[in-house]
Structure 1
Amino acid sequence: MALLNNEKNVLPLSSIAEILSAKPRTLKMYEEKGLLPIKKETKKLYSINDVKSIAYVHYLASAKKINANGIKYILEMLKNNMDEKTRDDFLDLVEIEMEKLSATDVKDVTEI
């Protein structure tokens, strides 16, 4: 049995939207605003590790009501001030906190 590779790009944005209970258009909007990991392929697929980052962006926009510029600033700070291990640990903690939220706490964002 092969081990899972969390870096392999296998998920389309529509599947990630379903996982996050978000609208695909909302995630597409995040992508257009430059908030998602950059994918150069024509068929944009995301990794399991990308899902954590996308979920964090969705959390910031929908639950915390932070606009696109604020989210870009936060993501830049995470990238520039945390090593990969610390950033992954932080996103794991955020994921745990997000799981505690009810569906009414996180509403789908249609405009940032």
Structure 2
Amino acid sequence: MALLDNEKCVLPLSSIAELLSTKARTLKMYEDKGLFPKKEDQTKKLYSINDIRFIAFVHYLASVKKINANGIKYILEILNTNMDENSRNDFLDIVEGKLEKISTKDVHDIDNF
């Protein structure tokens, strides 16, 4: 059995939106504001499994915590400049645990608010 390559970019935003129970347009808006990892070397923007954790964190900050794009950029800058990769991954694990506790209904209620 082959191992998964979590760094290989294979998922479009529409698939990620379905995984996060949100609209593709919402994620496209975050992408347009420069909140996602850069994908300049591709003609079609695809994201990796590892990118999904990052995208889910951005979506959590915007939709649940109601932080605007500038605030999210500042938070991401702090994470990238003050945390090594292991600490950042540990932090994202904690956030992912919190995201799992939020029900799909809660997310839809927030999106429709």
Query: What TM-score, normalized by structure 2, do the two folds share?
Result: 0.92
Corresponding position of 1:108: 111
**Equivalents in 2 of 1:35, 1:66: separation in Å?**
12
Q: Secondary structure at the match of 1:46?
A: coil
- Structure 2: where are the runs of 5+ without partners? none
Corresponding position of 1:33: 33
Give the Å deviation of 1:104.
4.0
Structure ranking higher in helix proportion: 2
RMSD, aligned α-carbons: 1.2
Corresponding position of 1:3: 3
**1:63 and 1:105 in contact (8 A); partners too:** no
Residue deviations 1:43-93 (CA, integer Å, cap 9, x gap): 010001100000000000000000000000000110111111111111111
Corresponding position of 1:66: 67
Aligned residues: 109
Query: What TM-score, normalized by structure 1, do the two folds share?
Result: 0.93
